[in-house]
Chain A
Amino acid sequence: MKIAVCVKQVPDTWAEKKLQAGDSTLDREAAEGVLNELDEYAVEEALRIGEAHGGEVVVVSMGPERAAETVRKALSMGADAGIHLVDDALHGSDAVATSAALATVLEGRSFDLIIFGSESTDARMSVVPAMVAERLVLPQVTFAQKVEIDGSTVRIERQMEYGFDTVEASLPAVVSVVEKINEPRYPSFKGIMAAKKKPVEILSVADIGLDPATVGLGAAWSVVDDFAARPPKAAGMVVADEGEGGSRIADYLVDQKFI
């Protein structure tokens, strides 16, 4: 079993995120970069499947130089090798170009499973796994709260608002996972030391044979015209409960015509 797990470096979940004035892209310097939280579940699931079925787990990331830390984090959790696609030409890529770049990296490496987190906590589009499946013409089994491998079949529980759907596909397949699926491990000291010696392949846009004119901000098919901080909310009314708190909320809801 050869498993790719695609990860993204994002601003720390707990930090305030900002766009930068020049080109309206994410200000990556404004906050510490971390492994996208939802990708930790993807790494964990890849490791568990690798442990149960034998095989290699390769962490794949597209991102600026400092995303190397994120690749290293996944390696310290236990992934075997890394691929880091890094190129100034990729700066400002939209989801369409990102999926093209990732698909180009993944193609021809005979992965049985390609696992993603269900979304990044910065852009939150949740479209790249589906786009990569579309490009590689592979089955898409996404938003999994459970993944089972049975021979050459992958079976997932796709989280739905009403419960879940059970979905089956043949390998190779593209999977995305939700946070309910597992409890990601913390890197051990041993894991952190071992990660330093694990191989990481550094690739440029030219290395993967992609035309630099098709990626990056200039090639994006959606553009940001303008952005602004949301106007601060006017202060509301806060009262202490003196035995009539519930009743006062009811009054307020009547005033606002909710009742």
Chain B
Amino acid sequence: MSEILVLVEHADGQVKKVTFELLTLARALGTPSAVWLGIGASDAALASLGEYGAEKVYVVDSADMDDFLVAPKAEALARLMADSSAAAVLLPSTAEGKEIAGRVAVKAGSGIITDAVGVAADFTATQSVFGGSTVVTSRVSNGTPLITVRPNSTAPVPSPGAAARVDVAADISDAAKSARVVGRTVASKGGRPDLSEAAIVVSGGRGVGGAEGFGVVEALADSLGAAVGASRAATDAGWYPHQYQVGQTGKTVSPQLYIANGISGAIQHRAGMQTSKTIVVVNKDPEAPIFELADFGVVGDLFAVVPQLTEEIAKRKA
């Protein structure tokens, strides 16, 4: 079986769920090897990668990976790719994952496919493009395929095993250390999961009416352990921070469950969420186009419906 490299997405020493999805996908393509770039690769973290089928974990234990933007990771990954003669590389389709893949593509002379929602055994990728309106199958025709895969595209399935740690020297060039990260600012988000990989997303739009109206949206999200999203109307109005925007000019999400509250469903928004597996809509306008996407919809005032839903969830979970 040929080796498939999987770039590990991690934060604070914890492996992010999308990594387990990628390992699950990689097992159908060959023998997965995880690639851990940066510090913090603990035994526990490595064990969790082994549980999802990583036979090896290449660890580049260097602070350069986090102290400088993107370029050191691309350099380290490109070198691993050349040394390991991997058949393909899977990366998370996050802003950084795509940038790393892009730089590696240039370095290695490889084709790149981003935002895949599936990868077949022959490395043909399925992409959902134009806001989910078109399904494309594509493949890399030159070099080692670099494929970034959207979070929530595959259900992570364990395949217990032990991953062997392989330490790799960083040896990063000065040229790759040109954009220094001098500070990290964490905005409070109440311990909610990341929007891009959350299994459930609860969003608010124009109908929420103002920043304080997002309180009911957040309460519902918290009752479900969900991330909070917002339409462009809401982020443009300053009601909710911009990084939570879902849509054509914001994030694309594909959760198991998406609950749209007070969102009309213009193309701009649909482009970011219509591949969600199950869509629930609350809107007072029965003509709102978002109802076309709804698996279940309620025409009504979100300030009545949403708090009631939150209360019911609490009751049923009790």
Contacts and interface: CB of A to CB of B under 8 A. Distances in A.
A38 B109 CA distance: 28
A159 B96 CA distance: 11
A226 B137 CA distance: 5
A21 interface: no
B155 to A, nearest CB: 13
Contacts of A224: 136-138
A178 interface: yes
A134 B110 CA distance: 14
Contacts of A244: 308
Given A38-B249, A246-B308, A95 B69 contact: no
Contacts of A180: 235, 242-243
Contacts of B69: 139-142, 158, 165, 167
A164 B134 contact: no
B114 A134 contact: no
A111 B100 CA distance: 24
Chain B, interface SS category: mixed
A222 B124 CA distance: 10
B268 to A, nearest CB: 6
A34 B34 CA distance: 42
B103 A259 contact: no
A89 interface: no
Interface stretch (A44-52, A68-76, A195-203, A250-258): A250-258
B140 A222 contact: yes
A239 B136 contact: no
A75 to B, nearest CB: 23
Given A131-B106, A140-B99, A259-B317, A230 B300 contact: no
B114 A99 contact: no
Contacts of B101: 127
Interface in B241-256: 242-243, 248-249, 252, 256
Interface stretch (B45-53, B157-165, B178-186): B178-186
Chain A, interface SS category: mixed
Nearest to A181: B242
Pick from A138, A241, A256 the residue with the most CB of B within 10 Å.
A241
B134 A241 contact: no
A69 B101 CA distance: 32
A38 to B, nearest CB: 6
A238 interface: yes
A246 B305 contact: yes
A28 interface: no
26 contacts: A16-B267, A96-B105, A124-B115, A125-B112, A126-B95, A126-B99, A127-B105, A134-B102, A137-B175, A140-B71, A142-B69, A163-B184, A164-B187, A165-B69, A220-B111, A221-B141, A223-B141, A230-B133, A230-B135, A238-B299, A244-B308, A245-B298, A246-B304, A246-B310, A249-B305, A250-B309
Given A179-B242, A249-B309, 13 more contacts: A17-B130, A94-B112, A159-B243, A221-B111, A230-B128, A230-B133, A233-B292, A245-B298, A245-B308, A246-B304, A249-B282, A253-B313, A258-B256
